[in-house]
Amino acid sequence: MAILLFSLRNVPEDEATEIRELLDQHAIPCYETSAGNWGISMPALWLKDDEHLALAGQLLAAYHQQRFITQRQAYLQKQQAGEAPTFIGNLLKHPLRFIAYAVCALFILAISTRLISALAHISLVK
pLDDT in tens, 57-66: 999 999 999 9
Bigger pLDDT: 31 or 120?
31
Claim: this prediction has a pTM higher than 0.85: no
Average pLDDT over residues 75-104: 92
Strand ranges in 25-119 using DSSP code E only, listed in sequence order: 30-33, 44-47
What lies within 8 Å, CB to CB, of 91 at 6+ separation is: 98
Contacts 24+ apart (CB under 8 A), 34-42: 35/9, 42/7, 42/9
CATH architecture of 3-80: 2-Layer Sandwich (3.30)
**For helices 13-25 and 53-80, what crossing angle results, to 10°?**
140
